[in-house]
Structure 1
Amino acid sequence: MKRRNFLILAALLPAVIAVAQPKANHSKTKKSMQSDPNHKLVIYQLLPRLFGNAKTVNKFYGSIEENGVGKFNDITDAGLQELKKMGFTHVWYTGVIEHATMTDYSAYGIHPDDPDVVKGRAGSPYAVKDYYDVDPDLAVDVKNRMAEYEALIKRTHTNGMQVLMDFIPNHVARTYHSDVMPAGVRNFGEDDDKTKSFDPKNDFYYIPGQPFKVPGGYNPGGDDFHSSLKDGHFDENPAKATGNDAFTASPSIDDWFETLKLNYGVDYANNRTGHFDPIPPVWQKMYDILNFWSNKGIDGFRCDMVEMVPVEFWAWVIPKLKETHPNLIFIGEAYNKNEYGHYLFKGHFDYLYDKVGLYDAIKRLVRNEGNATTWDINAVWNHDCKGMDAHMIRFMENHDEQRIASNDFAGNPWLAVPGMIVTATLNTGPVMIYFGQEVGEPATTAEGFSGADGRSSIFDYWGVPEHQKWLNNGKFDGGQLSEDQKNLRNFYSKLLNTVKDNEALSSGKFYELMIANEHNTGFNTRVYMYLRYTDKQKVLVISNFNRNEQHLNVKLPADLLQQLHVSGAVNFTDLLNGTSYRANDINNGLDITLPASSGVMLKF
């Protein structure tokens, strides 16, 4: 019903929509970023644990010895150069901070975790065990693990890219304890009054008088994993609330039972009343953590589940950090479109996830779902993200979402071509690719804790088979890829480099052409078309989500042609493959045939 009403309203709206620019009162960093003609962020997300692992055993619930694990040192100059050539400006290293695991590192002075509160043999990267340390799995020399990560940061910078890493603010592992925090910093919970369910001075929320109970039916590590600690019990009394806001001593197996909710001064039992003056201890501790990593040369943070943390904290911490690190980038994982404005303009985030908007719309179209139309894309920039569209980070895969090539999504990576073109070119905000996406990784198997769900597991030790063909035992030359995979990777490389380097696509204005063409030959609601332009460059983008060839006549309205000073015969060149097209009289439009599931980016 809402979509139908939007279509009626859309016909009444003006066709010209300029790319949203930051308001005058935005931060100086955001202003300078938006005024840079090449500010477009092109992000490559990778899990070091999976990225460099060349081992192909892939035993269900396999150990680190059996299935192997990628290391910081596996991400070599050669690998980084290949990413740079592909057009990436930033690398997001996911799962770097030390988290709870079933692998025993007690020989290195690291306290072992109770497997009853760990998900997967490797453990979740989002169950942080020590904010001031890195995952020992990722080090060749465990004692030298921080230096190996620092070397990776430097190596990434030397190869011309910036470094993003996770910041997980909402929750920590139940076994959290920092062994290496700076002098004067206190551990979370160390000073808590555990007799109170809530106190703004506490770091955690408590269930007084009740011990924690491990969810029934949980078999940590599978049948082959044995440990003296694997006994169905975990000593926590009183119990603490979980990261997904389960305020109970007996969380469900479907809850984030392995995590603890941090207390930012919000009293959930009393209408979420905020107690922010004086600032809660957690705020200062989190500032110290972010400052610690910023001082190591981190260029930005992808912040996990930002809506589970009060916007008042972000409004305090981000400007405070940017006083000393003015070029830091903050990307927020957000899902409530009604709150986007608060986190962007009050919370000072640079970018937010566009998952419930563009991602969901594109996924429906790529999957050829019956009710999907390209008007859903219009609804994103003209309604859900209106005035904020340039601050949305766009993607078709990440660690939380299903692989395009999986049967859970499209089953064929080439079906995503029109979606990726729109994802990368709709606006000036970042575009992100998840490692393995560019070679059609389908994630077809069950790895252990992560079942056969179309995702590459973040919980288990595993090799990523199609990605490993590009890895080619550390050569990073794609030596094992099929011709089809090489062609797919070339498509991504051409798309990303073009988006990054073309002025119209990286920083130009946007003109929607759907309404102007809805009565033209070949028009249907599974084709999307728009213009991106500056005074110097113009690119006509047309994406065909249909599973069959389309013959179109695409017209640019007379007022637009006048504005662009375009008339008569016009030659077009597809920036993706060099194909030429010609409109003998642009006033009569461009006749073009698009193959099934394809798109063009026509410079003229």
Structure 2
Amino acid sequence: MAEAATHNGLAAFGEGRQRVLIEHVTPQVDAGHYPIKRVVGDLVTVEADIFADGHDVLAAVLRVRGPADQSWHEMPMTLLGNDHWRGVFSVETIGTYTYTLVAWIDRFATWEHQLHKRVEAGQEVQVDLLIGAALVDEAAAHAPDPVAATLHGFAAALRAGDAEAAFTPELARLMSLHLPRQFATAFERELHVTVDRPLARFSAWYELFPRSAALEPGKHGTFMDVIARLPYVAELGFDILYLPPIHPIGRQFRKGKNNSVTALPGEPGSPWAIGGPEGGHKAIHPELGTLEDFHELVAAARSYGLELALDIAFQCSPDHPYVREHPEWFRARPDGTIQYAENPPKKYQDIYPFDFETSDWQGLWYELKSVFEYWIAQGVTVFRVDNPHTKSFRFWEWCIGSLKRDHPELIFLSEAFTRPRVTYNLAKLGFTQSYTYFTWRTQRWELAEYLLELTQTEIKDYFGPNFWPNTPDILTPQFYPGHRSVFLTRVAMAATMMASWGMYGPVYELMQHVPAQGREEYLNNEKYEIRHWDLDDPNSLRTFIARLNQIRKTNLPLQRNANVRVHPVDRNFALNEQLFAYSKTTDNATHIILVVVNLDPEQVQSGWVQVPVDEWHLGATYLAHDLLRNERYVWQGEYNYVSLDPATMPVHIFRLERQEELPR
């Protein structure tokens, strides 16, 4: 009985001769429950603490399986010191990669290490050579014939007393390949990487309302009008043209101008009040055009290097076919009416939210997923999702996971202006990018803190920030005075702090800034009326925005969120809180971008910006090339003077170049 109990107790330990431990593996998200995220061409650096009892030499490999691989590929890991190891692999195709680690006692390397010490000490090693010969013979038994013959030759040399043969690099290489890994330890889980196309990380979004794209004031715009607008959007340098919902708009409780609860005759209503007699989420507003017109728009956008992004808003007007056909998908009130959407004090009587606790939740899930599938079939691969934080987390994990298994090229932008944990969780569940709190960060300290949070914590492995200075719903107070410098600095920071950014136009480049009474949104908002915009307004920021996007496309550090740092700018031996300086570099700092922004919309601000010249190997003299104004300054040493006037140009975007790069 005692022996049985002992045996049963040992069984819980598995293979007791596995002596190697693998701990603190990075990167992984929530203990591997969610994948990390990368884009095609990235290197994934995996680190771990790997150790064992005693003084034996260890070996470790990184095992990787790509989307189409049937078996593992192995890359050796390197000991960095203090039991900390690193391995690297590249991701070359979109889809899901899997990785894990295996480590073991390297019997040959341990033997070789001990033999080397004995030889140096002048000790007798004949028995040690026989032990090594047996190891080599063991490896030969597991090697193909030509290699086995070579190994047997090494074994014979060792038996003959040739200690030098033990230290031959070729023998070490062959032994690492063919000596069986006794009692190897595999990491306890397989980890995953979602690999997206490069547009998932580096993108510039431009939002416009199709119904406001008509050439003539007072007319309802069409898809053909949007096609005519494409050269303008391409000229600005954007990659993605995002359209608010293009579906029929409900009649009941239709909102009027400036969110009036009663619409006047002829007022178009909010595009987010989806659904009418013409159809719902798979239908097109008849005044925008036909499905054939939409196909023509998708194709035309691609000819200009643009991808079309559609808004997916899972909510319904009271006139949506779903309300009639599936009343069980909505929450009924005691008086028999359906609960409309609310975000007190805001009320959206023209919108019914779905009830994700409905008894027919499976039917609802499949139908909502089919909305994505319908528009994917029409050529759309980029989606902006409205208020995903008000829908079931489990739904998003299932829906996005299912869609990306069949269409790994898809990109999902989350409009989740909510609590940080909710926002970040949506990213873990599958959203590629997300709106952020950038527009509410206005002080130097909070901009710096937020930039470092997004780029230097574990968030960077799964969260794709997209900085927007404005949206149709958001006009923050810094814009209310209408300072041109604020429009310049906010758009410059959005475009350079993050690899992905977006803006709602043409209201931004035309510097619209009058808020609705008591709300952080625009007066005479396009959400409730058709507007006409003068794109040729001489005060437009179109040239500046086009230059920003050109700078982004020709400077690699701005295409990633890596290697970010914040720099102090001193004035009179104290930090100047009105000057915000930050840099982004390539991994080896061969390409350095330094941005300095004057946050004061009225006063000239100056100071001495600190540059890590030794770390960046810039030398005693180097060039600061202002890419916005195409001006060059020769800088020296660690501190250099900058001065920015909001009345002229409140931003520097410098490319720092070493002395050997200076023009002669």
TM over 0.5: yes
What are the Cα deviations for residues 332-371 of structure 1, in whole angstroms up to 9, with x where unaligned?
11122121221111x21011111xx211013xxxxxxxxx
Deviation of 1:441 after TM superposition, in Å, equals 4.1
Tell me if 1:566 matches 2:618: yes
Q: 1:358 aligns with which of 438, 451, 459?
A: 438
Deviation of 1:410 after TM superposition, in Å, equals 3.5
The letter of the residue matching 2:621 is A
Q: Which consecutive residues of structure 1, in runs of 5 or more, have no partner in the other structure? A: 1-19, 56-66, 105-114, 140-144, 178-186, 193-201, 211-237, 247-251, 267-274, 363-372, 471-477
Tell me if 1:204 matches 2:204: no
What are the Cα deviations for residues 443-492 of structure 1, in whole angstroms up to 9, with x where unaligned?
6598xx9999634523444333xx3x22xxxxxxx3xx22x33xx22111
Tell me if 1:499 matches 2:552: yes
Q: Which consecutive residues of structure 2, in runs of 5 or more, have no partner in the other structure? A: 1-26, 38-93, 97-192, 255-260, 657-664
Distance 1:578 1:460 in 2: 42
Tell me if 1:165 matches 2:248: no
Distance 2:544 2:574 in 1: 26
Tell me, yes or no, if the aligned pair for 1:33 and 1:39 is still in contact at 8 Å: no
Tell me if 1:243 matches 2:341: yes
Please name the residue that 2:270 is paired with: 124
Tell me, yes or no, if the aligned pair for 1:120 and 1:459 is still in contact at 8 Å: no
Matched ranges for 1:215-364 at <5 A: 238-244=336-342, 254-265=346-357, 279-335=361-417, 336-345=419-428, 347-354=429-436, 357-362=437-442
- 1:295/1:260 Cα in 2 relative to 1: closer, same or farther (>3 Å)? same
What are the Cα deviations for residues 375-417 of structure 1, in whole angstroms up to 9, with x where unaligned?
011232344784436611111121112389xx96231333222
Distance 1:51 1:525 in 2: 41
Range with bigger deviation, 284-293 or 24-33: 24-33
Tell me if 1:527 matches 2:609: no
Tell me, yes or no, if the aligned pair for 2:269 and 2:529 is still in contact at 8 Å: no
- 1:517/1:595 Cα in 2 relative to 1: closer, same or farther (>3 Å)? closer
> Which of structures 1 and 2 has the bigger CA Rg?
2
Deviation of 1:118 after TM superposition, in Å, equals 9.7
Deviation of 1:255 after TM superposition, in Å, equals 1.6
The letter of the residue matching 1:207 is R
Number of equivalent positions: 456
Please name the residue that 1:72 is paired with: 223
Q: 1:458 aligns with which of 526, 533, 539?
A: 526
- 1:85/1:522 Cα in 2 relative to 1: closer, same or farther (>3 Å)? farther
Distance 1:452 1:331 in 2: 22
Distance 2:512 2:266 in 1: 21
Q: Percent identity?
A: 16
- 1:508/1:116 Cα in 2 relative to 1: closer, same or farther (>3 Å)? closer
Range with bigger deviation, 26-35 or 316-325: 26-35
Distance 1:135 1:562 in 2: 60
The letter of the residue matching 1:337 is P
- 1:436/1:577 Cα in 2 relative to 1: closer, same or farther (>3 Å)? same
Tell me, yes or no, if the aligned pair for 1:117 and 1:258 is still in contact at 8 Å: no
Please name the residue that 2:208 is paired with: 46
Tell me, yes or no, if the aligned pair for 1:172 and 1:243 is still in contact at 8 Å: no
Distance 2:575 2:386 in 1: 41
Three-state SS of the structure 1 residue aligned to 2:431 is coil
Tell me, yes or no, if the aligned pair for 1:89 and 1:160 is still in contact at 8 Å: yes
Tell me if 1:411 matches 2:421: no
Please name the residue that 2:468 is paired with: 395
Tell me if 1:135 matches 2:190: no
Q: 1:378 aligns with which of 448, 454, 459?
A: 448
Deviation of 1:168 after TM superposition, in Å, equals 0.5
- Higher relative contact order, structure no. (Cα contacts within 8 Å, ≥ 6 residues apart): 1
- 1:38/1:460 Cα in 2 relative to 1: closer, same or farther (>3 Å)? closer
Tell me if 1:25 matches 2:60: no
Matched ranges for 1:403-552 at <5 A: 409-428=480-499, 430-442=500-512, 454-464=522-532, 467=533, 469-470=534-535, 478=536, 481-482=537-538, 484-485=539-540, 488-507=541-560, 509-514=562-567, 516-517=568-569, 521=573, 523-534=575-586, 535=588, 536-546=590-600, 547-552=602-607
Tell me if 1:553 matches 2:608: yes
Distance 2:616 2:454 in 1: 29
- 1:300/1:117 Cα in 2 relative to 1: closer, same or farther (>3 Å)? same
Tell me, yes or no, if the aligned pair for 2:479 and 2:513 is still in contact at 8 Å: no
What are the Cα deviations for residues 254-306 of structure 1, in whole angstroms up to 9, with x where unaligned?
4211121212227xxxxxxxx8xx85321110011110001111121111111
Distance 2:247 2:413 in 1: 17
Three-state SS of the structure 1 residue aligned to 2:542 is helix
In the superposition, the TM-score normalised over structure 2's length comes to 0.63
The Cα RMSD (Å) is 3.4
- 1:258/1:511 Cα in 2 relative to 1: closer, same or farther (>3 Å)? closer
Please name the residue that 2:645 is paired with: 595
Tell me, yes or no, if the aligned pair for 1:353 and 1:394 is still in contact at 8 Å: yes
Deviation of 1:519 after TM superposition, in Å, equals 7.3
Distance 2:265 2:469 in 1: 26
- 1:579/1:96 Cα in 2 relative to 1: closer, same or farther (>3 Å)? same
- 1:387/1:396 Cα in 2 relative to 1: closer, same or farther (>3 Å)? same
The letter of the residue matching 1:562 is D
Distance 2:409 2:203 in 1: 13
In the superposition, the TM-score normalised over structure 1's length comes to 0.68
Please name the residue that 2:63 is paired with: none
What are the Cα deviations for residues 506-557 of structure 1, in whole angstroms up to 9, with x where unaligned?
126333234x545775741121111110033111111011221122211123
Three-state SS of the structure 2 residue aligned to 1:316 is helix
Tell me, yes or no, if the aligned pair for 1:337 and 1:384 is still in contact at 8 Å: no
What are the Cα deviations for residues 185-215 of structure 1, in whole angstroms up to 9, with x where unaligned?
xx455255xxxxxxxxx3111124x2xxxxx
- 1:43/1:33 Cα in 2 relative to 1: closer, same or farther (>3 Å)? farther
**Structure with more of its chain in strand, by fraction:** 2
The letter of the residue matching 2:637 is I
Distance 2:350 2:578 in 1: 43
The letter of the residue matching 1:576 is L
What are the Cα deviations for residues 10-50 of structure 1, in whole angstroms up to 9, with x where unaligned?
xxxxxxxxxx9999923655968678499511011000011
- 1:103/1:353 Cα in 2 relative to 1: closer, same or farther (>3 Å)? closer
Distance 1:298 1:358 in 2: 28
Tell me, yes or no, if the aligned pair for 2:224 and 2:293 is still in contact at 8 Å: yes
- 1:418/1:121 Cα in 2 relative to 1: closer, same or farther (>3 Å)? same
Distance 1:408 1:137 in 2: 33
